[in-house]
Structures are given as C-alpha cells and as structure tokens.
C-alpha cells in the first residue's frame, strides 16, 4: 500500500513515535498491527472499543453503557470488519488498529464501513 492510496482514502498512518507523543493509547501491544486514523464524521465523539474473543466490547468511557443509544451503537461497532482490532473515537478523528498486510481493498472496506457509523 502506498501513501498516495492512503491520502486518497483520507487515512493517515500513525508511526509508533507519533502515538507515543499523542493521547491515543491502545491496549493491544501486537507489533504486527498498524494504526491509522481518519476524520470522525460519526456521532460518536468519545469511545474506545477493543476486540475480546472476536467481539468488540466497550473499554471506555463506562458511562456510555448507560446511554439510550448504546445498544444500537454496539451493533454498529460489531458490524465493522474483523480486521479492526481496536478503535478509538475522539471529536476529530477515529483511530484504529488493523492488520495492514490485508491490503488496500481491506482498508477501503474499513473506510467505507466507518463512514457509515
């Protein structure tokens, strides 16, 4: 995958050094995974989901579990491609971990599915 394809998708690769200086903190320490970010155009402005036993669970904030839209949100998150291991939502961006060896077509699918949230 080249940077031109990433730019066309609006995704940005996060190097390990850029993550260490940011406020994004993934729980996974698998070095085979890559971190990408795209603009957050969803209604989700603060959430962190991790995959546990092949199913997404809410890591934080716990208060989200008590919101009226939590169940529908969880269904949407669980419909994301299996290649996403962890996803963090902020007001500005969605940052996700995935296996980039799956290629540009998988990144396109991830991008498309994230834009539907």
Q: For residue range 71-102, what is the model confidence (pLDDT) as tens digits?
A: 988 999 999 999 999 999 999 989 999 888 88
Structural domains counted in the chain = 1
pLDDT at 105 over 50: yes
CA-to-CA separations, 46 to 60, 78, 88, 107, in angstroms, rounded: 8, 17, 8, 23
pTM reported for the whole predicted model: 0.79
Tokens of 85: 């291991």
The residues, any chain, with a CB within 8 Å of residue 11's CB and separated by 6 or more, are 36, 37, 38, 107, 111
Range 18-43 average pLDDT: 73
Q: Cis bond leading into 61, ω under 30°?
A: yes
Rg of the chain taking only CA atoms, in angstroms = 14
Please give the backbone phi and psi of residue 27, each rounded to the nearest 5 degrees, phi first.
Answer: -85, -30
Q: Which range of residues forms the domain containing residue 87?
A: 3-115
Residue 61: name the closest of 74, 76, 48, 42 by CA.
Answer: 48
């Amino acid at each position: 995958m080249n940077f031109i394809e990433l730019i066309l998708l609006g995704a940005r690769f996060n190097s390990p050094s850029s993550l260490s200086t940011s406020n994004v903190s993934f729980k996974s320490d698998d070095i085979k995974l890559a971190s990408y970010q795209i603009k957050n155009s969803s209604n989700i402005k603060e959430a962190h989901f991790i995959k546990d036993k092949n199913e997404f669970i809410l890591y934080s904030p716990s208060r989200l579990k008590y919101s009226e839209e939590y169940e529908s949100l969880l269904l949407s998150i669980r419909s994301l491609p299996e290649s996403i291991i962890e996803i963090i939502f902020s007001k500005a961006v969605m940052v996700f971990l995935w296996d980039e060896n799956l290629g540009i077509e998988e990144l396109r699918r991830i991008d498309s599915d994230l834009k539907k949230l």
